[in-house]
């Protein structure tokens, strides 16, 4: 973009300098990397997007959900954490795997507990 008076207008290719060319190359690489990294189903979802940001945002909503969905997931997992108890006839390894999954899912959603809290929770759930 170049400034003409108070307005920004796109540059023609002839007006590109080395920095502009590098930006265009990097932008093309970003789009290509996203296309190469996704599975066929996700490719179909993003193939109609016109910008790398639009592609990234669509993938973000697909995998992380909206803020409302994220909050609902946090609420659900927090309740699972708070109600966590060892099941009858469950061995320690299975219980710990189940507990770790809840804690890791919460961590992925940016909800964390201190190690002290986690240890106390495990001991209380036995």
Q: Residue 54 and residue 8: Cα distance in Å, rounded?
A: 22
Tell me, letter by letter, the H, E, C secondary structure of 44-99. HHHCCCCCHHHHHHHHHHHHHCCHHHHHHHHHHHHHHHHCCCCCCCCCHHHHHHHH
pLDDT in tens, 62-107: 887 888 888 999 999 999 999 999 999 999 999 999 999 999 999 9
Condensed to tens digits (0 to 9), the pLDDT of residues 11-28 reads: 888 889 999 999 999 999
CA distance 42 to 54: 13
- Token pair 């993003």 is found at 46
Where along the chain do its domains lie? 2-64, 67-125
């Amino acid at each position: 973009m170049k400034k003409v008076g108070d307005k920004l207008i796109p540059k023609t290719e002839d007006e590109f300098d080395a920095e502009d060319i590098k930006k265009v190359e990097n932008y093309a690489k970003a789009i290509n990397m996203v296309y190469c990294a996704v599975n066929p189903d996700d490719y179909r979802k993003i193939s109609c997007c016109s910008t790398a940001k639009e592609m990234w945002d669509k993938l973000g909503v697909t995998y992380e959900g909206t803020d409302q969905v994220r909050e609902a997931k946090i609420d659900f997992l927090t309740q699972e954490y708070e109600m966590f108890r060892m099941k009858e006839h469950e061995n320690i390894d299975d219980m710990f795997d189940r507990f770790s999954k809840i804690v890791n899912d919460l961590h992925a959603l940016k909800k964390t507990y201190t190690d002290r809290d986690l240890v106390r929770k495990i001991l209380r759930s036995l």
